């Protein structure tokens, strides 16, 4: 291909993308193709000679119509997956076309400046200390890993130990305290950082919150460097840990509080839901995911800390060919993350926040939460359906006929029927259905249509019939 061939190719891709997004409001949410189907269509030996790009892209676009799950659509309620705001989608497409490595300001002035500005907006919207640092990472896992890397540096530096220079061999043991219902990414981050399994696991209450009394007992006799991992938004119930008690006691002990707030931290952007995050701003680091409540494209999260010097010390890297800083003191993104080659993640975030504004961001959070309450209210009087959680945010936990097998059958039936897609979980030892309402395009009509589909499957199975098919 030549450069003049690129424009018609991109126009065809834009047309195919527009057709796809126009379809997600009506098509079944499930994929109509399996992995085996995709293999049959695509798997072949690597060709000796390159193929024409046009037919190749046409084939991929065609597969996208049948071999994708409509996670971008308004009735996908699995895995706390948001959609992508129009402004963020358009900005992301521009970012891909620019094809810049945003590691350093000298490589991407736009990448540097948008991270600086959007980062300041996020700090402000979440009510965090104005001096907080931020790194634009890939998502919740990398945000937790980055935040805990900074925590590791900070608590060991206070003990006179240079972990970046000396590693962990011979270092003072670091106590890590977590809640019983923490997210799996916290454990993965601890393993990657060489901190191993948590020292203490604190009991949770019926909603999945760390119990304040159990936390107090857990840290009372711990001596030495301390990291506490709290949670803003239980991944099943949406509940929030008691931040004032956790932060206050941990800081009395000279410890560090890290908050996994992948989706729940966004509650702080809403005056109606901000009370859930009381005390969260007093923590030392926060992990936030952009693709959840903010609805920016995938591969964008935020690692924030209240200790910029420790953040930079834990993450920054250098080489003789790097060009860092400059006369106007630009922000070099590489100083705040653990990856080097990376795209300009700040561009889509900047576009999303500027298109929403403070009021629009609050309304987006409020709308998702209102939809969750609508789900709970709609099933409240249905025989055999129980709402197990206090619906405080965007999560709803349902159980059917108080029976594991029936609950799992309803989930499978709903996924197959196709009106919506909902996932399952095990909570307090029981099988449950988990709703996560996170998409900007979801309407009340989408909620009503989805609830009706779920209840139809439940009733059909109860009567001994088959789950309906769409």
Give mean pLDDT, residues 95-110. Answer: 95
Percent of the chain at pLDDT above 90? 95
pLDDT tens for each residue of 160-169? 999 999 999 9
CATH number at residue 89: 3.40.640.10
Please tell me whether residues 129 and 190 are part of one structural domain: yes
Please tell me whether residues 44 and 109 are part of one structural domain: no
Indicate if the pLDDT at residue 327 is higher than 80. Answer: no
Give mean pLDDT, residues 358-375. Answer: 98
- Cα–Cα distance, 116 to 105 (Å, whole number): 11
Residue ending a domain, choose from 43, 68, 93: 68
- Cα–Cα distance, 26 to 73 (Å, whole number): 9
| Partners of residue 287 on adjacent β-strands | 260, 303
466: CB partners within 8 A, 6+ apart: 460
CB 171 within 8 A of CB 130: no
* Residue 344 forms part of a structural domain: yes
pTM, two decimal places: 0.96
Residue ending a domain, choose from 16, 40, 68: 68
pLDDT at 466: 62
Indicate if the pLDDT at residue 118 is higher than 60. Answer: yes
Residue ending a domain, choose from 68, 93, 110: 68
* Residue 243 forms part of a structural domain: yes
* Residue 74 forms part of a structural domain: no
Scanning the structure block, which residue is given the tokens 């803003």? Answer: 232
Please tell me whether residues 367 and 288 are part of one structural domain: yes
What mean pLDDT, rounded, does the chain reach? 96
- Cα–Cα distance, 183 to 186 (Å, whole number): 6
Please tell me whether residues 63 and 160 are part of one structural domain: no
* Residue 73 forms part of a structural domain: no
* Residue 96 forms part of a structural domain: yes
- Cα–Cα distance, 463 to 470 (Å, whole number): 19
| Signed CA dihedral, 437, 294, 289, 439: sign only | positive
- Cα–Cα distance, 103 to 110 (Å, whole number): 11
The strand order across the sheet containing 423-427 reads 385-387, 395-400, 430-436, 423-427
| Partners of residue 179 on adjacent β-strands | 202
Please tell me whether residues 94 and 236 are part of one structural domain: yes
* Integer angstrom CA distances of residue 266 from 185, 311, 363: 19, 22, 11
* Residue 147 forms part of a structural domain: yes
* Residue 77 forms part of a structural domain: no
Question: What's the total number of domains in the chain?
Answer: 2
Please tell me whether residues 260 and 318 are part of one structural domain: yes
Please tell me whether residues 64 and 91 are part of one structural domain: no
Residue 77 structure tokens: 């309620």
Confidence of residue 468 (pLDDT cuts 50, 70, 90): low
pLDDT tens for each residue of 400-450? 999 999 999 999 999 999 999 999 999 999 999 999 999 999 999 999 999
Q: What is the domain range of residue 169? A: 82-470
pLDDT tens for each residue of 196-254? 999 999 999 999 999 999 999 999 999 999 999 999 999 999 999 999 999 999 999 99
| Partners of residue 436 on adjacent β-strands | 395
Neighbour tally for 405: CB within 10 Å? 11
pLDDT tens for each residue of 15-44? 999 999 999 999 999 999 999 999 999 999
| Partners of residue 431 on adjacent β-strands | 426
Please tell me whether residues 62 and 87 are part of one structural domain: no
Residue 390 structure tokens: 């206090």
- Cα–Cα distance, 279 to 275 (Å, whole number): 9
Give mean pLDDT, residues 314-342. Answer: 90
Please tell me whether residues 106 and 189 are part of one structural domain: yes
* Residue 34 forms part of a structural domain: yes
Please tell me whether residues 151 and 195 are part of one structural domain: yes
Give mean pLDDT, residues 254-281. Answer: 98
CB 280 within 8 A of CB 268: yes
pLDDT at 467: 55
Output the 3-class SS for the chain: CCHHHHHHHHHHHHHHHHHHHHHCCCCCCCCCCCHHHHHHHHCCCCCCCCCCHHHHHHHHHHHHHHCCCCCCCCCECCCCCCCCCHHHHHHHHHHHHHCCCCCCCCCCHHHHHHHHHHHHHHHHHCCCCCCCEEEEECCHHHHHHHHHHHHHHHHHHCCCCCHHHHCCCCCCCCEEEEECCCCHHHHHHHHHCCCCCCCEEECECCCCCECHHHHHHHHCCCCCCEEEEEEECCCCCCCECCHHHHHHHHHHCCCEEEEECCCHHHHHHCCCCHHHHCCHHHCCEEEEEHHHHHCCCCCCEEEEECCHHHHHHHHCCCCCCCCCCCCCCCCCHHHHCCCCCCCCCHHHHHHHHHHHHHHHHHHHHHHHHHHHHHHHHHHCCCCCEEECCCCCCCEEEEEECCCHHHHHHHHHHHHHHCCCECEEEEECCEEEEEEECCCCCCCHHHHHHHHHHHHHHHHHHHCCCCCCCC
Confidence of residue 464 (pLDDT cuts 50, 70, 90): confident
Indicate if the pLDDT at residue 116 is higher than 80. Answer: yes
Please tell me whether residues 235 and 312 are part of one structural domain: yes
pLDDT at 325: 85
Indicate if the pLDDT at residue 143 is higher than 80. Answer: yes
């Amino acid at each position: 291909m030549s450069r003049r061939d690129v424009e018609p190719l991109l126009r065809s891709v834009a047309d195919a993308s527009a057709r796809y997004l126009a379809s997600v409001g009506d098509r079944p949410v499930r994929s109509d193709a399996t992995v085996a189907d995709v293999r049959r269509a695509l798997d072949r030996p690597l060709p000796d000679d390159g193929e024409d790009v046009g037919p190749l892209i046409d084939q991929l676009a065609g597969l996208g119509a049948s071999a994708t799950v409509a996670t971008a659509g308004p009735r996908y309620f699995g895995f706390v997956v948001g959609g992508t705001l129009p402004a963020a989608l358009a900005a992301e497409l521009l970012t891909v076309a620019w094809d810049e490595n945003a590691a350093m300001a000298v490589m991407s002035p736009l990448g540097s400046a948008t991270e600086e500005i959007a980062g300041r907006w996020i700090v402000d919207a979440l009510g965090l200390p104005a001096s907080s640092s931020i790194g634009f990472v890939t998502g919740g896992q990398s945000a937790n890993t980055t935040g805990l890397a900074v925590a590791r540096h900070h608590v060991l530096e206070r003990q006179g130990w240079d972990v970046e220079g000396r590693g962990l061999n011979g270092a003072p043991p670091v106590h890590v305290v977590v809640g019983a219902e923490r997210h799996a990414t916290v454990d993965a981050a601890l393993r990657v950082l060489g901190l191993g399994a948590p020292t203490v696991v604190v009991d949770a209450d019926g909603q999945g919150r760390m119990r304040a009394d159990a936390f107090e007992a857990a840290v009372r006799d711990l001596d030495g460097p301390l990291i506490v991992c709290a949670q803003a938004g239980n991944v099943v119930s949406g509940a929030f840990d008691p931040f004032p008690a956790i932060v206050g006691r941990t800081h009395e002990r000279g410890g560090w509080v890290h908050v996994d707030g992948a989706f729940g931290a966004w509650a702080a952007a809403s005056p109606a839901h901000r009370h859930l995050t009381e005390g969260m701003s007093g923590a030392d680091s926060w992990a936030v995911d952009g693709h959840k409540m903010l609805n920016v494209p995938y591969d964008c999260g935020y690692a924030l800390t209240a200790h910029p010097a420790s953040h930079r010390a834990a993450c920054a890297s250098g080489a003789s060919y790097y060009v860092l800083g400059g006369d106007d003191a630009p922000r070099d993104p590489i100083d705040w993350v653990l990856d080097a080659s990376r795209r300009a993640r700040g561009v889509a975030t900047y576009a999303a926040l500027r298109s929403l504004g403070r009021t629009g961001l609050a309304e987006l959070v409020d709308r998702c939460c209102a939809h969750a309450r609508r789900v709970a209210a709609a099933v409240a009087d249905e025989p055999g359906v129980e709402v197990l959680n206090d619906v405080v945010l965007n999560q709803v936990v349902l159980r059917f006929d108080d029976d594991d097998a029936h609950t799992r059958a309803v989930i499978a039936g709903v996924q197959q029927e196709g009106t919506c897609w909902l996932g399952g979980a095990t909570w307090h030892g029981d099988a449950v259905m988990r709703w996560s309402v996170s998409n900007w395009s979801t309407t009340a009509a989408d909620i009503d249509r989805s609830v009706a589909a779920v209840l139809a499957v439940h009733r059909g199975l109860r009567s001994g019939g088959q789950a309906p098919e769409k």
